[in-house]
Amino acid sequence: MLKKLGFGMMRLPLTAGGADKDVDLERVAPMVDAFLQRDFCYFDTAYMYHGGCSEEVVRKALTQRHPRSRFLLADKMPVMMLQKSSDQPRIFEQQLARCGVDYFDFYLLHSLTATHYETACRLDTFAFARQQKAEGRIRRLGFSFHDSAQVLDRILTEHPEVDFVQLQINYLDWEDASVQSRLCYETALRHGKPVTVMEPVKGGTLATLPQAALERMRRIHPDWSAPVWALRFAAGLENVQMVLSGMSTLEQVAENTAAMEHTPPFDAAERAAVAGAAALLRQAAAVPCTGCRYCVDGCPAHIPIPRYFELYNTDLGTGGNTFDTHQAYYENYGPTHGKASDCIGCGACVRVCPQHIAIPDRLKEVARHFETD
Ligand code: SF4
Ligand code: SF4
């Protein structure tokens, strides 16, 4: 049986001082090898990860170095970037070449929302993917999803041919009114579709928990870290076939593979512990940004939106301590990027944000926090 941990190739280690595209291949290759040595085999990439370089890293670190039978590879059609139907074959061929494979084990329409679904309908993206599947270049077809359970129900009703869905599921979003993890999960279950889980640690948010939550968790499993709790919550859900983790270090690969050997469902005490942690986190939440970076490239003011939200969240979490470095980090971006107050409110970022964050409004908070004396 397939072990339920997938290696997300979107938070890879970077070279010293490097930008998002500067993935440190010398550190990635040993991580890939260690993952395979422990009998995990699922890798997940996308056209846009690491500024368009993730697929090439997959080729160099994985597909050129290991036999095709040793791994399963998932890639995604960037629906949000499609302008015309001829973009689809062009991008698909490019993806196969970049990855160095002649088929994908899993292929997804990337990040469907109601808006992106309209694009996929207009350009017949499902039909394109079905054709590739018929030709054996896609083994299993699915889509990743960031909208309400109602929209998910509509897509699954109109496209019963999909083999699986990829959903944002974690114990903090489980009852969240925007993300609707539980409702989306139950919708997939009702349609009989296996679920691949993305953002199980919510972009790192669930890696750092309030002390009271951690103490309760340690009483149940003294050897589980906060990220392990998050991964095991998702993996223990019935009908979940895979849980993706965007790993950045060899240590994370070692810890996560050890924790995901066996993934039984949570018992009542474990469920109560994560519900308690979620309640505490909700009390302290600032901006629910997962750091996916979908908003970054289209911003005319060149604002590093997720970086600012991360700094803001962390600064609030540490009580805005005058000795912390968040203010300095914020100011470091000044020479090369827009400030939070440079936002012109064009809304380009809001249209692509899978977390439905009111980004211009939240940037005003960031500007008030970091730009006023
Ligand atoms: S609304 Fe502001 S942050 Fe968003 S894309 Fe436009 S300028 Fe950038
Ligand atoms: S603001 Fe939204 S789109 Fe931008 S990185 Fe955060 S979650 Fe992603």
The CATH architecture one would assign to domain 5-283 is Alpha-Beta Barrel (3.20)
Q: From CA 111, how far away is CA 60, in angstroms rounded? A: 26
The residue to mutate among 289, 293, 294, 305, having the most atoms of ligand 1 within 8 angstroms of its beta carbon, is 305
39: which DSSP letter? T
**What are the residue boundaries of the structural domains of the chain, listed by start?**
5-283, 305-371
**CA 340 – ligand 1 centroid, Å:** 9
Q: Does residue 326 have a pLDDT over 80?
A: no
Contacts 24+ apart (CB under 8 A), 216-224: 216/273, 216/276, 216/277, 217/273, 217/277, 220/269, 220/270, 220/273, 221/270, 224/259
Measured at the alpha carbon of residue 192, what is the angle toward residues 191 and 198, in degrees to the nearest 5? 90
Tokens of 36: 């395979």
Indicate whether residue 53 lines ligand 2 (CB < 6 A).
no
The residue to mutate among 20, 116, 309, 350, having the most atoms of ligand 2 within 8 angstroms of its beta carbon, is 309
Tokens of 353: 């944000």
Kindly report, residue by residue over 223-237, the tens digit of the pLDDT.
999 999 999 999 999
Tokens of 226: 């906060």
Counting ligands in written order, the one closest to the CA of 356 is 2
Residue 228 CB contacts under 8 Å (≥ 6 apart), including other chains: 221, 255, 256, 259
Indicate whether residue 291 lines ligand 2 (CB < 6 A).
yes
From start to end of the chain, where are the E strands? 5-8, 42-44, 72-77, 104-112, 138-145, 164-168, 195-198, 240-245
Q: From CA 259, how far away is CA 136, in angstroms rounded? A: 34
**CA 306 – ligand 1 centroid, Å:** 12
**CA 69 – ligand 2 centroid, Å:** 35
Counting ligands in written order, the one closest to the CA of 296 is 2
Confidence of residue 146 (pLDDT cuts 50, 70, 90): confident
Quick one: which atom of ligand 1 is closest to the CA of 342? Answer: 7
Indicate whether residue 296 lines ligand 1 (CB < 6 A).
no
Indicate whether residue 289 lines ligand 2 (CB < 6 A).
yes
Do the Cβ atoms of 178 and 147 come closer than 8 Å?
A: no
- The upper half-sphere exposure of residue 117, i.e. CA atoms within 13 Å in the direction of its Cβ, equals 18
From start to end of 88-160, where are the E strands? 104-112, 138-145
Distance of CA 347 to the CA centre of its chain: 22
**What Å distances lie between residue 216 and 57, 183, 222, 276, CA to CA?**
40, 27, 10, 9
Kindly report, residue by residue over 6-43, the tens digit of the pLDDT.
999 999 999 988 888 999 999 999 999 999 999 999 99
- Which of 98-112, 313-327, 343-357 shows the lowest mean pLDDT across its residues? 313-327
Kindly report, residue by residue over 82-108, the tens digit of the pLDDT.
999 999 999 999 999 999 999 999 999
